[in-house]
Amino acid sequence: MAWACCAAGTVGLLWARPVVRQTTSPSLQRRQDAAAVASQPSVVETQWNLVELNGSAENISANEGKVYIYLQLDGDKLSGSDGCNRFFGSYDLSGPSLQFHSVVQTLMACHGGFTAREAEFLEALKQVTNYQLADNILQLKVDDRVLARFQARKK
User: pLDDT tens digit string along 85-105?
Assistant: 999 999 999 999 999 999 999
Residue 139 lies in a domain: yes
Quote the Cα angle for 145-110-83, to 5°. 45
Residue 115's domain comprises 42-152
* DSSP β-ladder status, 77-82 and 97-105: unpaired
Q: Is residue 99 part of a domain?
A: yes
For the stretch 130-155, pLDDT in tens is 999 999 999 999 999 999 999 998 75
Give residue 37's pLDDT. Answer: 45
Report yes or no on 20 lying in a domain: no
Q: Is 139 exposed, middle or buried (0-12, 13-18, 19+ CB in 10 A)?
A: middle
Do 78 and 89 form a contact (C-beta atoms < 8 A)?
yes
Q: Is 117 within the bounds of a domain?
A: yes
DSSP structure string for 28-47? HHHHHHHHHHHHSPPSSSSE
For the chain, the domain total comes to 1
Query: Which domain CATH number covers 125?
Result: 2.40.128.270
User: Is residue 52, in this structure, part of any structural domain at all?
Assistant: yes
Q: 41-45, 53-57, 84-88, 116-120: lowest mean pLDDT where?
A: 116-120
Determine, yes or no, domain membership for 1.
Answer: no
Within-domain flag for 70: yes
Does residue 61 lie in a domain region?
yes
pLDDT at 111: 74
Q: Is the pLDDT of residue 25 over 60?
A: no
Q: Quickly state the pLDDT bin for 113 (edges 50, 70, 90).
A: low
State the pTM of this model.
0.71
